[in-house]
Structure 1
Amino acid sequence: MIGYKISSTMMSRFVVTLTLVLLGTTCNAQLSSTFYDSACPNALSTIRTVIRTAVSKERRMAASLIRLHFHDCFVQGCDASILLDETSTIESEKTARPNDNSVRGYEVIDKAKTEVEKVCPKVVSCADIVAVAARDASFAVGGPSWTVKLGRRDSTTASRSLANSDLPRFTDDLQTLISRFENKGLTARDMVTLSGAHTIGQAQCSTFRDRVYNNASDIDAGFGSTRRRGCPSTISAGNDKKLAALDLVTPNSFDYNYFKNLIQKKGLLHSDQVLFSGGSTDSIVTEYSKNPTTFKSEFAAAMIKMGDIQTLTGSAGIIRKICGSVN
């Protein structure tokens, strides 16, 4: 009996120790800016070349790549789940309402992955490529750069339902937006800061038609008139997809004009204008409208913070060979 008790105790301790080791490997691994320095020293330069080429061909792609990172991180965390295609077992996030015929840049990420695989097969995750691409896209159009923390791994699942429920919508009011960001560990200030990415990019007519046709008091009359000319009131597939720049003044440059627009009631989307509508975030918008250096610095910090949302590290997840499918 004594021998049995001793061996049982020792076995229990061994199991506990092993469990802690495994948990540490899976959960406590840290992202690091030097993660690929030894395993794939040319990874970042390879990605940067692809992103620069894509943005030079189409400036709008910079906004699309930043948005792609955002839409990835808000669903299951920054795990490249948004890149997975539809299969018999995967309901792709690409067809979720906020993403369908809206999110772009998949082919650019695929190109970057192909090029990285040539120099370092099965080493660099698609999730890290998405994060690096957002940084490089920002810098390519005059925005801030930042040190991207690396070591994310790719998910084997996607969630269309979470994409439909968790991603911010262009119709959201201020408190709903704040709650959506807080649910991801981001503050109201982070929300305003990240919304500043709308200093570049375009939106479809269907997302701002109601705003420019309802003659509300929170929209500049001249701005509304200008936007109506490019967005017919008649709802149709062709009309709905007509594009307008989110920033009418400097649509292809990452600056702080977005915040000036909000103060002048020239935010294109309802979810933009509510950031300056007599609410708790007015002071942040005003601050950024006067201090571009502060905005760019805090945008970089907020992107780093967003990139930490629910990452898979250590032995969790996989390194996908092709970003659109599980190995």
Structure 2
Amino acid sequence: MSIKFLLTCSLLGLLSVAQADLKFGFYVKSCPKAENIVFQYVREHIPHAPSLAAALLRMHFHDCFVRGCDASVLLNSTSKIPAEKTSPPNLSLRGFDFIDKIKSLIEEECPGVVSCADIISLVARDSVLVIGGPFWNVPTGRRDGLISNATEALNNIPAPTFNFTALTKSFASKGLDVTDLFLLSGAHTIGVSHCSSFSNRLYNFTGKGDQDPALDPFYAANLKKNKCKVPNDNTTIVEMDPGNFKTFDLGYYKLLLKRRGLFQSDAALTTDAATKSSIIKLVSSPLEVFFKEFAMSMEKMGRIEVLTGSSGEIRKNCAVVNS
């Protein structure tokens, strides 16, 4: 038996233990009201700001893709290292104060017990649920990371310009497959984007002042006329599922099949025959099918490289490591 084989087995064993430490009702004894505090706050506030559901879901995604789901996205920069939240992919993130408020409520109930990482995971799920989206299981027991690095965010978060190969490689590096890729992309049904994230598709796709031929020309013309009127617009916001972006449904996928996804990474999903076929099948299925499959991929994503046991810490303040 080779040393390499033994090392591989040991590594797999450690990973299994780490995932096993996540469990349902992790705080049932140490902080029994924790999950209810999260849900009640979300239920009270998200209906008044439904667009925040997409932002909090995106925060969860961006957190998990850098050092795993460890709340590193919440940390402030230090004198030595710019934090993830200062990295270009995260400059448009919002909802930090929402997380902080929930953290403060839970700290009042049971100090030093519930991690910021678990709060992000629970808030993302509950926010989507409150606006009529799917429910998914969120096992808890994550601990908070100690490091947040802007460069790591830039290197790990999939870019809106990615093609299908780059997307699958990025997701595979986090233990997610092609099915997870197109299902998790469905979160864009409640998303919005700044024009700057895709204006190159409208005005300068290949550097010659041209338009992306993969984008429906009528849709592109409408975007130029009514939304992204100039190439360097950094302020205008565009709905990813126009007229329906507050409803968690199949609208995003229907737009993809009409070549009306905003990002190159959206359009990329239909460049792979098998994935496009899966999208067509999903669109023709009851909404409950999408909800069920999306839920499974979200639970899977929430387990990426989690810190458990004695790893990391339980931050008192989500923005700074404990002193």
What TM-score, normalized to structure 1?
Answer: 0.88
Match of 2:79 in 1: 88
Amino acid at match of 1:161: T
Selected match of 2:176 from 183, 186, 195: 186
**Equivalent of 1:325, from 313, 316, 320?**
320
Identity %: 40
Q: Deviations over 1:18-48 (max 9, x none)?
A: xxxxx89x85751011101111111111111
Secondary structure of residue in 2 paired with 1:203: strand
Q: Provide the residue aligned with 1:281 in structure 2.
A: 275
Matches within 5 A, 1:1-327: 27=18, 30-100=21-91, 102-213=92-203, 214-228=210-224, 229-235=226-232, 239-291=233-285, 292-327=287-322
Secondary structure of the residue that 1:154 maps to in structure 2? coil
**Rg: which structure is higher?**
1
Q: What amino acid is aligned across from residue 229 of structure 2 in structure 1? A: P
Kindly provide the CA deviation profile for residues 76-104 of structure 1, in whole angstroms up to 9, marking residues without a partner as x: 0000000000112442100111112x111
Going from structure 1 to structure 2, the CA distance change for 1:41 and 1:184 (only over 3 Å counts) comes to same
What does the per-residue CA deviation read over 1:182-202, in whole Å, with 9 as the maximum and x for residues that have no partner?
A: 000000110100000000021
> Which runs of 5 or more structure 1 residues have no equivalent in the other structure?
1-22
C-alpha separation in 1, matches of 2:82 and 2:215: 38
Write the letter of the residue equivalent to 1:325: V
Please tell me whether the aligned partners of residues 29 and 314 of structure 1 are also in contact (alpha carbons under 8 angstroms). no
8 Å contact 2:189–2:240 — kept in the other structure? yes
Rounded Cα–Cα distance in structure 1 between residues aligned with 2:183 and 2:196: 25
Contact 1:249–1:257 (Cα < 8 Å) also in 2: no
Q: Distance in 2 between matches of 1:247 and 1:194?
A: 15
Any idea what the Cα deviations from partners look like across 1:208-242, whole Å, max 9, x if unmatched? 2122344433222221122112112242xxx2121
Alpha-carbon offset, residue 57 of structure 1: 2.3
Q: Secondary structure at the match of 2:89?
A: coil
On the 8 A contact 1:200/1:247 being kept in 2, the answer is: yes
**SS of 2:269's equivalent?**
helix
Q: 1:27 to 1:268 in 2, by over 3 A?
A: closer
Q: Structure 1 stretch 224-233 or stretch 48-57: which is displaced more?
A: 48-57
8 Å contact from structure 2 (residues 25, 140) kept in 1 = yes
Q: TM-score scaled by structure 2? A: 0.89
Aligned mates of 2:281, 2:93 — CA distance in 1: 30
Retained in 2: the 8 A contact 1:203–1:244?
yes
Secondary structure of 1:244's counterpart equals strand
Asked if the contact 2:116–2:314 (Cα under 8 Å) also holds between the matched residues in 1, the reply is yes
8 Å contact kept, 1:81–1:154: yes
| C-alpha distance in structure 2 between counterparts of 1:89 and 1:54, whole Å | 36
Number of residue pairs aligned between Structure 1 and Structure 2:
301
Of 89-98 and 142-151, deviating more is: 89-98
SS in 1 for 2:41: helix
CA distance in 1, matches of 2:97, 2:44: 13
2:65–2:157 CA contact under 8 A, matched in 1:
yes
Instruction: Structure 2: state its 5+ residue gaps.
Output: 1-13, 204-209
